[in-house]
Amino acid sequence: MIIRNLSEEDITLDLATKGKHSALSKIAAKIARRSGFDVQVVLRGLWKRESLGSTGIGRGIAVPHAAFHSISVPFASFTQLAPPIDFDSADGDPVDLVFTLLWPRSAAVSFLPALAQLCRLVATPRIREGLRLARSADEVMAILDSDPRAMHAFPSQTMPQTGVTMR
């Protein structure tokens, strides 16, 4: 799954934001720096999906995502928010754990299984609480690696047009 190929550079802890727009803007900016994508394209994609309905899945977790024709491999990031923010989640709980996914439209068939696997992983109370208590990217990686469901990742690939390794 996505998690196995997440690197420390894709993890942000204690991100302070003023709300959903602020959080998505900051996350999009970091993804753009890491991936070589245009920040406005990433942000527009995330907001377009968010306008269809909140990506807050409950229990303080959100999985904002967007599909793009311009990428050939998926990209993921993890952000721990402090303090939690309103994300319009169905359960009304504020969100403090955000997994952001950018997906190639050409691989749309693999998106829902990957999203479902991520949702099952973070449904585990031990994983959620560990991510909330993590104080370093290393700790986040160790928590995610401790669950066997996190070990089924797709391989890392290098984007030919940018030379950026996508996850």
pTM of the entire predicted model: 0.87
Q: Could you tell me the CA-to-CA distances from 86 to 42, 55, 90, 130 in Å, in that order? A: 21, 12, 11, 21
Tokens of 164: 């950026």
Instruction: Give the HSE-up count for residue 50: Cα atoms under 13 Å, Cβ half-sphere.
Output: 20
Contact 64, 24 (CB under 8 A): yes
Strand-pairing partners, residue 67, are: 103
Please enumerate in sequence order all residues whose Cβ is within 8 A of that of 109, keeping only pairs 6 or more positions apart, or say none. none
Provide the greatest CA pair distance for the chain.
42
Residues recorded for the chain: 167
Tell me the pLDDT of the chain (167 aa) as tens digits.
Answer: 566 668 899 999 999 999 999 999 999 999 999 888 899 999 999 999 999 999 999 999 999 999 999 888 889 999 999 999 999 999 999 999 999 999 999 999 999 999 999 999 999 999 999 999 999 999 999 998 886 554 443 333 333 333 333 33
Contact 77, 100 (CB under 8 A): yes
21 is catalytic: no
Domains and CATH numbers, the chain: 2-150 (3.40.930.10)
Q: Can you list the positions of beta strands (E) in the chain? A: 11-15, 56-58, 61-62, 65-68, 75-85, 95-104, 157-158, 165-166
